[in-house]
Copies of this chain bind each other. A is one copy, B any other.
Amino acid sequence: MDYKHLLADRTQRMSASAIREILKVVSLPGMISLAGGIPAPESFPMEIIDQLTRTVLKKYGSSAFQYDLTEGFMPLRKALVTHLSKKGVCTEAERITISSGSQGALDGIGKLLISKRDKVAVEAPTYLGALQAFNPYEPDYVRMDTDDDGLIPESLDDVLSHNDIKFVYLVPTFQNPTGRTLPLARRKQVADILHKHQALLFEDDPYGDLRFSGNELPTIQSLAPEHVIYAGTLSKIFAPGLRIGYLVAPKFISHWLVLSKQGVDLHTSTFNQALAAEYLEGGYLQTHLPKIIELYRPRQQAMLKALEQYFPKEFHWAHPEGGMFIWVEGPKGFNLENAYKKAVSRNVAFVPGRYFYSHPDEGLETMRLNFTMFDEETLAQAIKTLGEVLKEELA
């Protein structure tokens, strides 16, 4: 039987994540892969999880395994109110919708807001997973300029002035792929611009808790709550396999989100939400998060030190105060394609930065390096190899 003619129009916009395809290639034995974007398994609080499963079974019994509200498990939503208030996000449990991971939050908003050919404003470069979530709803993307401090507010203002934008998508803290963080002054500017244009922002904040140094910055949500849908996740600070994300949205949006989610997955796993509720409520996150930071900080430092030592002087990179990535830019006109192949042949992998741009010719000289998955020595070794490859390619 021929199935091809049965596919919906939108499926032509679905494509395998380039990163996931790359990850398949680089999962070969012996490969040091800086291509991933996943937390180190040794960062998971396994002993705490063991205890939490017993607590949940005892405290909630069969109700942790029954169908539950589409909006989310109430004890988790209440615990998140407290967690979020520490991050300056002031909300109430009724305004929080639990999603099946960050990806579920991205799909939920895309499904709710994007009609075919609607315009969505995105940073260049931007998070690939967001494009993958939005693509099936067939938007057109409008590109916003960035520099080492992230989104350039004037570019946002310009884009909103000249386009009918459904919503703006932004990862303002330790962005994926660049690791960049929008400074306070720009956050205030962005809030003002949103207000001026009566525009809606999707503030995606999966990495904000992973801060190694410097001071926490207010979320844009806290500066313009009526103009922001804020998304967070427990994937980086608890365990990604549990698929727990959440959205804080204006009441009108939350109402529709629930209707949308009813059709998509009815609700997110009750058991996993109960585990997450106990993790937050029991104060475990507070004791465990510093351990995650202490695991990642020296890894990041080791990578930065090795970059200094081994990378050609034509390359430059930022020094992010947290997150999971370092973004490296080569000289303009340089194409990392060959270097990528050569590096893989020497058992070191990364993601060429061009995959994070919506336009195919941008970012050919850029690369995303992940530092969470290997110890300091291995990271230094990998950067040394990469540096050698780059020097050969430059020569």
| Interface of A toward B, CB cutoff 8 Å | 1-4, 6-11, 14-17, 20, 38-39, 41-42, 44, 46, 49-50, 53, 57, 61-68, 70, 100-101, 103-104, 106-107, 111-115, 118, 129, 132-133, 135-137, 166-167, 198, 200, 226-227, 235, 239-243, 250, 252-253, 256, 259-260, 262-272
Q: Is the CB of A263 within 8 A of B133?
A: yes
Chain B hits for A64, CB < 8 A: 241
Within 8 Å by CB of A17, from B10, B262, B264, B270, lies B262
Q: Which residue of B lies closest to A102 (CB)?
A: B266
- A62 CA / B238 CA spacing, docked (Å): 11
A61 contact set on B, CB distance < 8 A: 46
In the complex, are the beta carbons of B259 and A15 less than 8 A apart?
A: yes
What are 30 residue pairs bridging A and B, where the CB atoms are less than 8 Å apart in the complex?
A: A1-B200, A1-B226, A2-B198, A6-B166, A7-B256, A10-B111, A11-B256, A14-B256, A14-B263, A15-B259, A20-B262, A41-B63, A42-B62, A44-B66, A46-B61, A49-B57, A65-B240, A65-B241, A66-B241, A67-B241, A101-B265, A103-B263, A104-B264, A107-B264, A132-B262, A132-B263, A241-B270, A243-B266, A264-B264, A272-B272
Q: Are B3 and A200 in contact (CB under 8 A)?
A: yes
Shortest C-beta distance, A135 to chain B (Å), equals 7
Contact of A259 among B14, B39, B226, B243 (CB under 8 A): B14
The interface residues of chain A, by DSSP majority, are classed as helix
The CA-CA distance from A241 to B61 in the complex, in Å, is 12
For A8, the chain B residues whose CB sits under 8 A away are 111-115, 118, 137
